[in-house]
Amino acid sequence: MPTSTPTPDRVLVVDDAATSVHLARVRDASTSPTDFIRHARQLGVHLGLAAVADLPVREVEVTTPLGPAPAREPAVPIVAVPVLRAGLGLLQGLQEALPTLVVGMLGLERDEETLEAREYYRNIPPAKGAWVLVLEPMLATGGSAAAAVRSVADLEPARVTVVSVVATQQAVDRILEADPEAHVVTAALDPGLDDNGFIVPGLGDFGDRLFGTPG
């Protein structure tokens, strides 16, 4: 079980030793792009497992070389929805940790007129009754994550969890305002934003560091 810092019941800060090691590496400005990808993937494993720690399971049977053995499998589908493009950094880790995972994609961009997140691409498999994990590593204002949570609501999932690496309290509040039933899992709650909208201390631009694009 992950350790956690006490927070409102729908918000889980995963700060066990293993997760913190990977968080330190992605925060460090001297981490190479290759290592950033590797540690982001590991964060996907740890945060993904924390997000499904209380997933309903059903009892099944598997056959070992010596005969039948009791086993368990998820009782509900799990659907990951990375928000393009930074969310892709967590996806592979989740796929490794959760073998039954199916994946949708959501593209959001800032509408320069309204300054709100605007959806430009959505391809998400049916998710009725599923646990939907929205992958959005940096929850700064929470605008895109709130838009993602609203977007998946019409799929009638049983639970929506935003999986992030670093979040601010204002982002968490905005997500819970968009969907009071939503959950948020993060490796850190940072104090705030700078004048450019970056989380401080944060880790810089997650997408740029993941894909090696200039900031």
Residues that bind ligand URA (CB under 6 A): 86, 138, 140, 198-199, 202, 205-207
Least distance between ligand URA and beta carbon 202 (Å): 4
Taking Cα atoms as reference points, which of 97, 203, 196, 107 lies closest to residue 148? 107
DSSP string for the chain: ---EE--STTEEEE--HHHHHHHHHHH-TTS-HHHHHHHHHHHHHHHHHHHTTT--EEEEEEEETTEEEEEEEESS-EEEEEEETTTHHHHHHHHHH-TT-EE-EEEEEE-TTT-SEEEEEEE----TT-EEEEE-SEESS-HHHHHHHHHHHTT--SEEEEE-SEEEHHHHHHHHHH-TT-EEEESEEE-EE-TTS-EESS-S-HHHHHHT---
Least distance between ligand URA and beta carbon 6 (Å): 25
Least distance between ligand URA and beta carbon 9 (Å): 26
Burial of residue 119 (number of CB atoms within 10 Å: 0-12, 13-18, 19+): middle
Q: In the complex with ligand URA, which residue's Cβ is closer, 76 or 166? A: 166
**Paired tokens of 22:** 């990977």
Q: In the complex with ligand URA, which residue's Cβ is closer, 198 or 211? A: 198
Q: In the complex with ligand URA, which residue's Cβ is closer, 26 or 124? A: 26
Least distance between ligand URA and beta carbon 143 (Å): 10
Report the alpha-carbon distance of residue 70 to residue 14 in Å, rounded. Answer: 30
Q: In the complex with ligand URA, which residue's Cβ is closer, 97 or 188? A: 188
Least distance between ligand URA and beta carbon 187 (Å): 14
Least distance between ligand URA and beta carbon 95 (Å): 22
Q: In the complex with ligand URA, which residue's Cβ is closer, 119 or 205? A: 205
Q: In the complex with ligand URA, which residue's Cβ is closer, 36 or 206? A: 206
